[in-house]
């Protein structure tokens, strides 16, 4: 037992981020956030409708990443995973950005009239389908549901994060058991409430359309983006000489496996959604895809199977690719770009029927949400160790090798 404690003490000494490095990262993120916020203010003055439309894509992008982190951190605790321990604090710090989503939701609440067609009372009164949904799709109830979503997510994520960081000093198996007990119902919250949130924030952009699998499609895309972010953070730390010996090629290999698995899973659920709608051929279901086969949206729709599956899957299937830091880093960047394009393809046809209309506010809103979440993520490294040094499986993770 004393040998274990001395090993963990040595690890703890090596996993405190230097204040100078932390200050540099904070300053970069603060500068980016200020630029993004200034851009959003300018957009609100000059083109408020486009600001809120672009912001919807950016908000969904960052929130889905937080949900992906929330889900997979709980999976690590429930399965007793050892391979991911050296990276788990990075995952937890991404997870803890989820509560800030409630603050990021404020512009959505302000811009409901510019974002959601069901806010048009005349259109609702003239349409029997919209009228039937009008008691559910109301501004107050919509905002209340979102507050409940983030309250529950924040409660669970904060409780799990507290137990993990407490274990850094307690060095007890008790925290692992408590975190596991929170994680079991937490998985339900991540999937069930994440599905409801996807219906509210994204599917209700076209309120007459519905798909029972839409939430799972969104959550799988967010999970893929989450692992992409983990890969890029680990690689950035490695380049700076941080965690270089703790997160090895073996860990990147497993992260590559997750990219491969989630690429395949996303394709499976997205194709299942399309195939069932195509097969049943009901007008109220097919209308969503028909809106994305008009004008210059059509080539984007044709490109999505290639971007989402036919290009990344063969690359990630290769063993050397998953063990190459350059390739796995490129695929992480690629996956994040494609996820944003996918969300853009989901949101923007609601407003621009003939094709994509890129705007500088797309970038400004994305920089704002990403940098604010980045600040929350980065601030945690100032308060806590970069690795869960009290986890009893840390030594096993440090020596992890793929079979």
Answer yes or no: is pLDDT of 15 > 90. no
Please tell me the predicted confidence (pLDDT) of residue 172.
86
- Any idea what the Cα angle at residue 97 is, between residues 93 and 103, rounded to 5°? 160
**30 Cβ contact partners less than 8 Å away, ≥ 6 residues apart:** 371, 375
Residue 23: is its pLDDT beyond 70?
Answer: yes
Q: Report the pLDDT value the prediction gives residue 159, as an integer from 0 to 100.
A: 97
Percentage of the chain beyond pLDDT 70 is 96
Q: What is the mean pLDDT of residues 140-148?
A: 97
More confident call, 5 vs 358: 358
Average pLDDT of the segment spanning 216-223: 97
Q: What is the chain's mean pLDDT, rounded?
A: 94
Summarize the confidence of residues 111-119 as an average pLDDT: 96
Give me the pLDDT at residue 284, please: 87
Residue 402: band (very low, low, confident or very high) from pLDDT cuts 50, 70, 90 = confident
Nearest to 342 by CA among 182, 236, 222, 192: 222
Q: In the prediction, which pLDDT does 5 show?
A: 40
> What confidence tens digit (pLDDT) does each residue in 52-95 have?
999 999 999 999 999 999 999 999 999 999 999 999 999 999 99
Residue 2 has pLDDT above 70, yes or no: no
**Who wins on pLDDT, 275 or 383?**
275
pLDDT digits (tens, 9 = 90+) for 281-315: 999 899 999 999 999 999 999 999 999 999 999 99
pLDDT(10) > 50: no
Report the 10 Å Cβ neighbour count for 145: 16
Domain assignments of the chain as residue spans, ordered by start: 2-232+346-391
- The pLDDT of residue 14: 62
Asked whether residue 3 carries a pLDDT value surpassing 60, the answer given is: no
pLDDT at 187: 95
- Whether the pLDDT of residue 6 is over 50: the answer is no
- Average pLDDT, stretch 175-196? 95
Tokens representing 121?
């009372």
pTM: 0.94
Q: With 60 as the cut, is the pLDDT of residue 46 above it?
A: yes
Token pair listed for 112? 């409901």
Compute the average pLDDT of residues 375-386: 94
Per-residue three-class SS string for the chain: CHHHHHHHHHHHHHCCCCHHHHHHHHHHHHHHHHHHHHHHHHHHHHCHHHHHHHHHHHHHHHHHHHHHHHHHHHHHHHHCCCCCHHHHHHHHHHHCCHHHHHHHCHHHHHCHHHHCHHHCHHHHHCCHHHHHHCCCCCHHHHHHHHHHHHHHHHHHHHHHHHHHHHHHHHCCHHHHHHHHHHHHHHHHHHHHHHHHHHHHHCHHHCCCCCCCCHHHHHHHHHHHHHHHHHHHHHHHHHHCCCCCCCCCHHHHHHHHHHHHHHHHHHHHHHHHHHHHHHHHCCHHHHHHHHCCCCCCHHHHHHHHHHHHHHCHHHHHHCHHHHCCHHHHHHHHHHHHHHHHHHHHHHHHHHCCCCCCCCCHHHHHHHHHHHHHHHHHHHHHHHHCCCCCCCCCCHHHHHCCCCC
pLDDT over 90 percentage in the chain: 89
* pLDDT greater than 50 at residue 355: yes
């Amino acid at each position: 037992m004393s040998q274990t404690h001395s090993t963990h003490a040595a690890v703890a000494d090596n996993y405190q981020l230097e204040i100078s490095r932390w200050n540099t990262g904070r300053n970069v993120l603060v500068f980016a956030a200020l630029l993004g916020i200034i851009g959003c203010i300018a957009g609100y003055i000059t083109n408020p409708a486009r600001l809120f439309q672009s912001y919807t894509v950016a908000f969904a992008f960052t929130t889905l990443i937080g949900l992906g982190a929330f889900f997979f951190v709980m999976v690590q605790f429930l399965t007793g995973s050892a391979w991911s321990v050296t990276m788990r604090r990075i995952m937890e710090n991404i997870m803890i950005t989820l509560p800030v989503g409630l603050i990021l939701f404020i512009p959505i609440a302000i811009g409901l009239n510019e974002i959601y067609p069901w806010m048009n009372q005349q259109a609702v009164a003239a349409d029997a389908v919209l009228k039937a949904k009008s008691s559910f799709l109301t501004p107050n109830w919509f905002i209340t549901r979102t507050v409940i979503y983030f309250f529950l997510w924040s409660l669970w994520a904060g409780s799990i994060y507290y137990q993990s960081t407490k274990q850094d000093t307690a060095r007890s198996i008790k925290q692992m058991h408590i975190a596991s007990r929170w994680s079991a119902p937490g998985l339900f919250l991540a999937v069930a409430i994440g599905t409801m949130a996807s219906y509210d924030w994204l599917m209700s952009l076209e309120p007459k359309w519905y798909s029972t699998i839409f939430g799972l499609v969104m959550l799988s895309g967010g999970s893929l983006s989450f692992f992409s972010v983990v890969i890029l953070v680990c690689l950035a730390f490695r380049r700076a000489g941080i965690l270089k010996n703790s997160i090895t090629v073996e860990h990147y290999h497993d992260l590559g496996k997750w990219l491969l698995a989630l690429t395949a899973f996303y394709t499976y659920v997205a194709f299942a959604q399309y195939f069932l709608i195509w097969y049943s051929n009901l007008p109220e279901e097919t209308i969503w895809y028909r809106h994305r086969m008009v004008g210059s949206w059509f080539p984007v729709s044709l490109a999505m199977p290639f971007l989402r599956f036919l290009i990344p899957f063969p690359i990630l299937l290769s063993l050397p690719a998953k063990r190459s830091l350059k390739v796995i880093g490129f695929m992480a960047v690629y996956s994040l770009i494609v996820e944003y394009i996918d969300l853009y393809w989901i949101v923007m046809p609601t407003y621009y029927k003939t094709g994509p209309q890129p705007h500088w506010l797309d970038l400004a809103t994305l920089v704002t949400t990403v940098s604010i979440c980045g600040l929350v993520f980065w601030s945690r490294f100032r308060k806590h160790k970069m690795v869960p040094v009290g986890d009893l499986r840390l030594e096993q993770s440090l020596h992890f090798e793929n079979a």
